[in-house]
A and B are shown apart, each in its own frame.
Chain A
Amino acid sequence: MTLQLASVCKTYRRFGKPPVAAVKLLDLEVADGETMALLGSSGCGKTSSLRMIAGFEAVTSGAIKLKARRIDTLPPARRGVAMAFETYALYPPLTIAENIGFALAADRSARGSAASRVRQIADLLEITPILERRPAGLSGGEQQRASLARALIRNVDLHLLDEPMSQLEPQLRAVLRGRVKSLLRERGYTAVFVTHDQTEANALADRIAVMEGGVLQQCGTAEELRERPSNTFVATFFGEPPMNLLPAIAEPAVARLTGAPEIALPLAVPLALAEGQAIEIGIRPHRIQLGNFPLRGIVLSNQWLGDEAHIAVEFAGRTIVAVSPVRIAVRAGDAIGLGIDPASLHVFDRMSGCALAHGGMRA
């Protein structure tokens, strides 16, 4: 493991105010060459975690190790990390080229090749035309790319990126995400980045750590988060459209829907559930089939998004969403059949939100 966080806590104490536990007992391991996303909404603890790794915040308790070396007591400059800040933090009097090459100037081994390395990373991030300009007057997207270049040009043990592409022009996003991901892989960089945007986490990361309320909810690949979410928070936070949830009551081998007691959905594995246990049944929009099926719902809307259709359907007293890869000719008010395969159903405990089963497998 390149980076290890063990039981890391961060509690902010301000005079006259109750303490705020921003990060609670965070355990996280990032492998050599891996890209990890810390994903969550504002206040979830992701940025505090990143700043503790960088050394801009002290840990309240716990330990952080980088390449088997304890770093949480070291000053930031001695940790062997490079960081790209959400606020860019470019030096105003320096040109973009000087900003990007700044850390290389101190690095004797890089001196001869510094200019060509700056040029190379600038080409990759499409900022070559602005290399001789100063930060003032550049767009947010341009400054953000310069800040990213300044971090990625350095060959360090760990790259830390705070919302690295949040301001990127949408027209550049797809290509630059691809190039940055390819660069991280080619150079074998280990990276941790913070984002509130699940599409960015999904696009760039090998694994994603979902945080909420200072607590790590789940850490896994995008596929694991989608196919085996550990709780209802992850299930409805990750994935667009989010997973559909239907409240139900457990019966032997079936789930009886609370909103439509006449419907009992068969479950793929007979669970050792207490009969009468309150559960939630989850099904991902991409797994619902539409057509001639006995389960019926009423279409509320049918939106074509250019590459897939999202169909909202009133079913069992809820609005659920199904995704179709092709256009289908249904309109609001039409009745429609829903094909739900027991192997695609997720079962959660309604009280705790914890996953009990995913398709045929116990959670």
Chain B
Amino acid sequence: MNMSKKKTGIAEIYSKFGIFIILLATIIISAVISPAFLSATNIINVIRQNVTIGIVACGVQLVLLCGEVDLSLGSVAAFAGCFAAMTQVATGSTLLALLTGVVIGGIIGFLNGLVITQCAIPSFIMTLASQQAARGAILAITKAKPISNLGNFSKFGQGYLGPIPIPILIWIVILILTGFILNKMRFGRYVYAVGGNKAAAQASGIKVKKIVTRCFTYTGLLSGLGGVVLMGRVNSGQPTGGEQLEFDAITAVIIGGTSMSGGVGNIYGTIAGALFVGFLINIMTLLNVSAYYQQIVKGVIIALAVIIDVKVRNGSKK
């Protein structure tokens, strides 16, 4: 009995602080084994490489906190990003291109949320359907060809404001915004309440459907923004871009301590989760570890994170 409590306690401590300790340990070990790792350029590179995942992760965190899931992120990012690229080519206006991408992402997210809540369809199924539809649509529209000659559009992914890359600045803004929503706004508290216990939230007067729809809309908006940053980074509208993005983003959020069943998690964990996966892949590439082994490591980490999540939840139920 005591042993069980102790084990649960360790898992609980991990869920609160573990990712930060592991992130720190990863950075220290990596710095020791590869001199190139701790340079400012490399650190900025890793952050920049993971900005798209980080931005989208902020959105999907809200959905996961509600106890739902969104598998359409990558396809929505490609759809919205390519439309933004097409707008850039057609109008030459970078601002209009950005708005197009974000708004299109938001509309798809809103539709996802609306159908899920009004038709009582599991979010897994609905977002899987919109994942397929969005990917198919953008491939059909572009005929699978990249959109090039984007001019200033590349600044979203490659530009600098002083010494800081613009995509990193965008991520910082999104992190602050998401942190504010979750910690300071009533809407944020409702998100936790809905994820913790939907029935209780409903009984206490929270409009659950409205909250869930808003969460999907926010995820859609950030997927659109992530798509713009991604296409800016590769300096072209890539209809196949963002594949597996949803899994990378969900991995970051879960490793960061957000529960798959909702109600538990914070933005700091998500930041650490995204950076941890990024640093891990980075050090393996620096050490020339084969891509096959990199996939194994990524898989093991996801499994461990979910096992710990389940353990914590089971522990808290007892």
- A and B together in one complex: no
Residues of B within 8 A of A (CB): none
Residues of A within 8 A of B (CB): none
